[in-house]
Amino acid sequence: MAIIIAGEFATMEQTESVATALSSANFDPANVSIFLLNPPGQHALHPMGGDEDADPGAGNAHKGAVSGALIGATLGLGVGAATIAATGLGSAVAATAAAVGAYTGSLVGALSKSGDNESPQPPTEVRHAGAMVAVHAETAEAEQRAFEILRAHGAKQVERAEGRWENGTWLDFDPRMIPALMNGNSPGQAPEHLRQHD
């Protein structure tokens, strides 16, 4: 597997200076790849055209609507039965009360659950829309130089990956994969995996 150091940039224009700097640092053009990234959830790898079938919160809202409808229908039937007992009106009143209760319950249930996805969860690192410069680093020194160049030229984040590299292309790049970020290091400081430990 090839070691790949990749950085995200806001625009393709930014990548031109990065490519020039990598060339000046003696990186072979066959070891550098520049490509665009779609926003998260809009990657073409998924059969539906995105990373997910639906908005992550949609499942919670649907569950809330179903449970709310059941509770509302039950309460509506109870109200309808009480109304029949009190007024002597027919079963149409009970059916109407159940329908109104189910609708109201489903609405309240969906609204109450739609924000459940906002509960505190550990943040996951993602790739952002923009341009990416990937460098096949053949040695530990090349890893360090690529990292420093990408950071010095304004990479939003830099990651390190192992993958298949062939003819200037990161063949098994998966935009949905959680990147192993190297952003805790500043230019001139080796990433943790490259540092010498006593």
Per-residue tokens: 9:
């940039």
**161 and 127 Cβ atoms separated by less than 8 Å:** no
Rounded Cα distance between 72 and 52, Å, is 31
**66 and 109 Cβ atoms separated by less than 8 Å:** yes
56-115 pLDDT, tens per residue? 455 555 555 566 556 665 665 555 555 555 666 566 665 665 566 656 666 666 566 555
Supply the DSSP symbol for 28: -
pTM over 0.85: no
Query: Which residue shows structure tokens 């009143």?
Result: 93
122-150 pLDDT, tens per residue? 455 678 889 999 999 999 999 999 999 99
Helix (H, G, I), strand (E, B) or coil at 97: helix
Per-residue tokens: 193:
């995996």
Q: Which helix (H) or strand (E) holds 135?
A: strand 130-137
